[in-house]
Amino acid sequence: MRKNGLLVVLSGPSGAGKGTVVKALLEQTPQIRLSVSATTRAPRQGESHGEHYFFLSREEFEKEIQGGGMLEYAQYCGKYYGTPKAPVRQWQGEGLDVLLEIEVQGGGQVKERCPDSVGIFLLPPSWEELERRLRGRGTEDEETIRERMETARQEIAGMDGYDYVVVNETVEETVRIIQSILVAEKQKFSRMKNIYEFWKGC
Ligand code: 5GP
């Protein structure tokens, strides 16, 4: 009997290295799919509709919310971000694990609605390293950097709602740890009800 795939939420402050980790994790883990979020923010250079995000107007996004099409959604920096429900359910039904790379308000909603989801919080090795990475992007002024640091602080305060915390020392090690978490999660008794019923009846 095929089991549903895991719903995995990965959050962490901007500068923790989520993007790099997600890319490596997807390359090295064939049974994982990445959910493509919807947003009302404008596309950045190089981003395309349907690949990086579904870029919607505010009206379109609110229509989706009202129609029950979003698994979760949140406002971040004045823009809507949300996870379309249908592809997530379809992939899980096919036995594939689904990864959501989302911020902490949305992560909280997923945990509330799907208590068996797996929440992983990614941290940079140190506060100094976080600041270095945020500055390292180069183009922003001091005020923007300060705002980013404040947003990072708020994200980190939401860490207590997650099941696992991973410090991103190196991408290789972080991917290995996340893969181990997923392997262990699948062996949990709470996901083995069918096997329990079978063996109990023998
Ligand atoms: P960015 O605009 O830099 O692509 O993303 C800003 C923030 O929105 C990031 O922290 C990212 O994790 C989060 N985000 C992306 N997609 C979603 C989503 O579907 N739902 C929620 N709640 N947050 C999202």
The pTM score is 0.95
The residue with tokens 């996870």 is 83
pLDDT in the model for residue 139: 66
d(CA 30, CA 11): 21
Query: pLDDT of 113-123, one tens digit each?
Result: 999 999 999 99
The pick from 102, 130, 139 for probing ligand 1's pocket by mutation, whose C-beta has the most ligand atoms within 8 angstroms, reads 102
d(CA 155, CA 74): 13
For residues 159 and 165, the answer to whether their CB atoms sit within 8 Å is yes
Q: Taking residues 37-48, what's their average pLDDT? A: 96
What's the gap in Å between 76 CA and the centre of ligand 1? Answer: 7
Considering the chain, what is the average pLDDT of its residues? 95
d(CA 134, CA 168): 15
pLDDT in the model for residue 4: 92
pLDDT in the model for residue 141: 83
Establish whether residue 54 lines the binding site of ligand 1, counting it when its CB lies within 6 angstroms of any ligand atom.
no
The pick from 37, 40, 147 for probing ligand 1's pocket by mutation, whose C-beta has the most ligand atoms within 8 angstroms, reads 37
pLDDT in the model for residue 135: 84
pLDDT in the model for residue 10: 98
What's the gap in Å between 154 CA and the centre of ligand 1? Answer: 14
pLDDT in the model for residue 138: 67
Query: pLDDT of 126-149, one tens digit each?
Result: 999 999 988 876 667 888 888 889
pLDDT in the model for residue 147: 87
Query: What would the two tokens of residue 86 be?
Result: 């249908």
What's the gap in Å between 22 CA and the centre of ligand 1? Answer: 13
Angle at CA of residue 119, ends 118 and 120, nearest 5°: 120
Query: pLDDT of 55-107, one tens digit each?
Result: 999 999 999 999 999 999 999 989 999 999 999 999 999 999 999 999 999 99
d(CA 88, CA 151): 28
35 or 147, which is more confident? Answer: 35
> SS in 3 state form for 20-71?
HHHHHHHHHCCCEEECCCEECCCCCCCCCECCCEEECCHHHHHHHHHCCCEE
Establish whether residue 80 lines the binding site of ligand 1, counting it when its CB lies within 6 angstroms of any ligand atom.
no
Q: Taking residues 142-159, what's their average pLDDT? A: 91
- Percentage of the chain modeled with pLDDT above 70: 98
Instruction: Say whether pLDDT at 1 is over 70.
Output: no
